[in-house]
Amino acid sequence: MINIKNLTRYILFIDAIIVFGIVILGCGGELSQKSDDDKTIARINNYKLTVKDLKSEAIDSTISKEDLLENMIVKKILLQEAERQNLDKDKVFMKEIERYWEQALLKLLINKKIKELYSKVTAPDAEARSEKTQEALEKWIKDLRAGASVKIDNNVLNEVKIDKNQ
């Protein structure tokens, strides 16, 4: 049975599949000597699902490997159908990917800066240290904003109508 809750986690797996596929194609297809992780567990149409793929998806230790494999197969079949229908080229889909990419990149940058600042801040307790780190982060963002070249056309801005129901 398909676990819909886990299926959404597996959707992100497509990035790894694409990268892995590109690497395999770049290596001339089948490698003559395969490690155990490179062995094919299942073929889904023209796609080869490997031991490595299965292991990388084994996030939830409560799900059996058979159920995990079945979820991955169903996900891949659905993804292939979406691609067949050219949904992967849809403007709405592409905008969602762009938003996800931006959010992930921002998260990495902010987390990196927080760790850097937190290691430099001294305070009597963890709460005060966190507050000082937050203040330092806000100052860093203000400094970046002040150093950026930003030109706003208020005439164009005033013409913009934003539909709150979108």
Same domain, 83 and 118: no
101 and 46 together in one domain: no
Do 101 and 81 have their domain in common?
no
- Identify the pLDDT of residue 60: 77
Dump the DSSP string for the chain. ---HHHHHHHHTHHHHHHHHHHHHHHTTSS-SS--GGGSEEEEETTEEEEHHHHHHH---TTS-HHHHHHHHHHHHHHHHHHHHTTGGG-HHHHHHHHHHHHHHHHHHHHHHHHHHHHHH---SSHHHHHHHHHHHHHHHHHHHHHHS-----HHHHHH----TT-
Answer yes or no: is 60 within a domain: yes
Total count of domains within the chain: 2
Say whether both 109 and 126 belong to one domain.
Answer: yes
Among 52, 54, 55, residue whose Cα is nearest residue 24: 52
Look at residue 102 in the predicted model and tell me its pLDDT: 96
129 and 75 co-located in one domain: no
Render pLDDT for 24-52 as a digit per residue (tens, 0 to 9): 555 544 444 568 999 999 999 999 999 99
Tell me: do 13 and 61 sit in the same domain: yes
In terms of domains, do 44 and 106 share one?
no
Based on the fold, state whether residues 26 and 65 are members of the same structural domain.
yes
Mean pLDDT (the chain) is: 84
26 found inside a domain: yes
Dihedral of the CA atoms 23, 28, 80, 103 (nearest 10)?
20
Report yes or no on 155 lying in a domain.
Answer: no
Residues 107 and 135 both lie in one domain: yes
82, 95: one domain: no
Least Cα distance to 56 among 44, 74, 38, 43 occurs for 38
What is the extent of the structural domain holding 142? Answer: 90-148
Instruction: Output the pLDDT for position 139.
Output: 95
Question: Of 44, 59, 87, which residue constitutes the final position of a domain?
Answer: 87
> What's the pTM?
0.56
Does one domain contain both 66 and 113? no
Query: Is residue 164 a part of any domain in this protein?
Result: no
